[in-house]
Amino acid sequence: MALDHDENWMLEDDEDELSASAALVRQPWKLLIVDDEPDVHRATILALKNIVFKGRSLEILHAYSGQEGFDKLAEHHDIALAILDVVMETDDAGLRLVRRIRDELGNQLVRIVLRTGQPGHAPEQQVVLEYDINDYKTKTELVANKIFTTVIASLRSFESLYALEKSSQGLAKILEGATNLYQLHSLKEFASGVLKQVGAILNLGEYGMLCAQSKNNQQSFEVLAATGPFTPLLDGNVLPEDSRLLIALNTALNSKCSQSDYPYEVLYIAGRNSYDFVVHFSPPWPLEVVDRNLLDIFCERISAAMDNLYLYQQLRRSQEATVMALADLGEFRDQTTGDHVLRVQKLTDAIAGRLKAKNAFPEQMDNAFMEMVGMASILHDVGKVGTPDHILFKPGKLTPEERQIMDQHAPMGAAILARTVALVKGTTYLSLGAEIAGGHHEHFDGNGYPLGIKGEEIPLSARIVALVDVFDALLHKRPYKEPWTLDETMAYVRERSGSQFDPQIVAALDELVAEGLLPLDLLQDPSE
């Protein structure tokens, strides 16, 4: 339909807003016609032929009864305008449909225009006051020029309301998502979280996305998270050098600015310590202005969350360095144990992982415990720094008096670490280390030392390391003994299940051994 001069003004203000990307095919506006007369459908299609508003054409859906119209609106949540006949299968079918749209579907965005050939059945003033509609026309009024005006005005109104609604929902998702991201402490886990939040904000569903990291603006980057067709990049596959996506990613990194060259959308996120991040996503349509504004806000929040992650990781590294220094101090004095503490760390993590998989001790095995118990286990013998050399390095059996002095390394280790634990609340490497140092010689039946506690009175971390420490010591050569075989060691452990060791932890170790999942260096030639 050709537009005359008076009608063109309605589109003039939109032409300046069309960017190069919007000139591409964009998602059409959905318009629903609900009328029981096929001729009305055909006439409406003819009147709206070739209309393009803000770079988007019209997709016209059809329904021939109130119920069918309701079903279409329930299926298509993004219908912008519904033109409803009043009298269809009943005299008030259109009016009933208006109520159902607003009340049952809760759809307040779709613009509704009532169109009737029998205005006496629904007086205009009464209908406009009692029903949430946006316009009321008789079928004789909606000639070609008038229906064009009605449709464009309705789409403009829908767009404004949609932008407000999307902004509100997007901001809520950003606030919720950023809060969740602050709780993630692994870089790759964090990257996956970023992709999920971008997907949620833009409703991307299963469209391909990736998040990559680059240092010092280098022309190479590491893919941290990916979905859809980009998943192979996690396995070491690379993009071709002439790939438009690769060019877009490098351009974003070099210019320190997000790039938009549909369908190659790239977000740039500035990181700390010379690391920068880029997020690529492939939307099905060019992004709208409201989407870009939301993404700008999201990038600001993500940068703050990245700073938080960086500081957290620095704190974790500082704690790990402290733990390693304390463990090295013990190793320095007792070098006969070799890599014992490192093997203890690996097996502790393996057993904790198996227990977690079996949902054992769910209240105790939270994320902090799982992340820290292995590293904390290397502090189990830190109290030996206070053991005299003539006892610590004695090659033969200790006398009862010497054994009593040696046994003091458990409470001494707990006391050394307790001073630092008091300074920091919550679970830390040092708080778990104190539990392990003080409790890894306790027995499940209460016959251990130094406190003689039993069962679950002994901290879970200490119960795990109690088994791991003995298991590794038996497998490897010591000044006072030759190494045992794996079968001999497991027979010893099983015999003391329920007395010296927690039966659930013994069962977890038994499963790892049976499935061949022990850390490899535990089974190297123990005489080496």
Write down the catalytic residue from 54, 358, 384, 481. 384
Look at the block and give the residue holding tokens 């406190």.
Answer: 451
Spatial distance between the Cα atoms of 160 and 164, rounded to a whole number of angstroms: 6
Mark out the alpha helices in 216-288 (DSSP H runs): 244-255
394 is an active site residue: no
Of 169, 178, 212, the closest CA to residue 197 belongs to 178
d(CA 272, CA 235): 26
Beta strand ranges found along 232-327 (DSSP E)? 259-261, 264-270, 275-281
Q: Are 73 and 82 in contact (CB under 8 A)?
A: yes
Residue closest to 123 by CA, chosen among 432, 483, 368, 131: 131
Angle at 28 between CA 27 and CA 34, to 5 degrees: 140
Q: Return the bridge partners of 24, or none.
A: none
Burial class of residue 39 (count of CB atoms within 10 Å of its CB; 0-12, 13-18, 19+):
exposed
Structural contact between residues 89 and 70, judged by C-beta atoms closer than 8 angstroms: no
Count Cα neighbours of 68 within 13 Å in the Cβ-side half-sphere: 14
Q: List the catalytic residues.
A: 384
